[in-house]
Amino acid sequence: MLKVILFTLVTIAVPALCLLHLEQYNVDPNEVTVSGISAGGAMATQFHVIHSSEVKGAAMFAGIVYHCANGLLATALTCMSAPGLTNVDSMISKTENQASSGTIDATANLLGSPVYVFHSPIDSVVLPGSGTNIEEYYQHFGANILSEHSVNAAHSQPTDFYGPACDYLGGEYINNCNYHGAYMALNHLYDNTLIRPNGSEALNGIFDLFDQTDYFYISDPALSSMDDMGYVYIPSGCVDKTNVCKLHIALHGCLMGRYLLDDVFARNTGYLQVAEVNNIIVLFPQAIKLLLTNPNGCFDWWGYTNYLYITKSGNQILALHRMMERILYGI
């Protein structure tokens, strides 16, 4: 069947990019959240669970439950294609064992933590049962879960202003579903207190590249499948550091990184508009491809870096945490 694909063109007035180094801003350390799409959603879950004493909540679009891959690519593919085979009780047990050993934060921190789960009933890449697995996992720990399973989106980040038809699979994996996913997720993570953008907001803050090499102390980021540069948006209300702001970390999916799509994910998923009207600094860390182990430029949720990927000592987790600490504390 021939599909008619309609794109909405959005012009965002943002200055030309240069490279900056992150610095400390006036951010409430209790207002740090994370989200992601697909592999980025799996990574968002990891970062939240691993650092649950510091990360308030997480949002997953077409995500994967924590520890599902068990360090194996073959198992990761099963998590995506046959989520009914995932033993969520085993994931819970492994999480509790990790917490007992001190390699992740105590699971008690997850009690009441806001969690947003978006999973389309027609997702053919990460099947819908994966969203149910995430819910079952977080329910065990008493999280405050908001789910959305009724939007007929292909495997994509849903927006209400950008991309092809909602059921189109491919391209940039950002679809116009008449659903503002970034706002819906962040509003839940921030206790339903956010102003909803109307689409005409002037983005008067700072949107720029930042140096990711600052967060890999003894190695090249590329060795951990990370880009030299990421994107950051500092809302106009946060630039002079007089207002107390929030911090959100948004993680792209496979085939969505800067190495392939430049700043498409950061600019066109709605995060910037939500950030501008609600004083939320947004980090968009960037992964890259590695020919043999990570050809699609995914964040590490199956252990292609090393076996520590699921702990505080994982290469990418360490880097993300250092980025967070630089914004919060200047360290």
The catalytic residues are 38, 123, 155
Would you call 117 helix, strand, or coil by DSSP?
strand
Helical H runs in the chain?
Answer: 39-50, 73-81, 88-101, 129-140, 181-189, 258-261, 264-268, 271-278, 315-329
Strands 245-251 vs 229-234: parallel, antiparallel or unpaired? unpaired
Say which amino acid occupies 94. Answer: K
Q: Tell me, what amino acid is at 23?
A: E
Q: Which of 254, 257, 278, 265 is nearest to 197 (CA)?
A: 278
Alpha helices in 161-242, H assignment, sequence order: 181-189
Question: Alpha-carbon distance 41 to 251, whole Å?
Answer: 7
**Residue 18 DSSP one-character state:** -
Does residue 252 contact residue 284 with C-beta atoms inside 8 Å?
yes
Query: From CA 124, how far away is CA 132, in angstroms rounded?
Result: 15
Mapping DSSP to helix (H, G, I), strand (E, B) and coil, where does residue 57 land?
strand
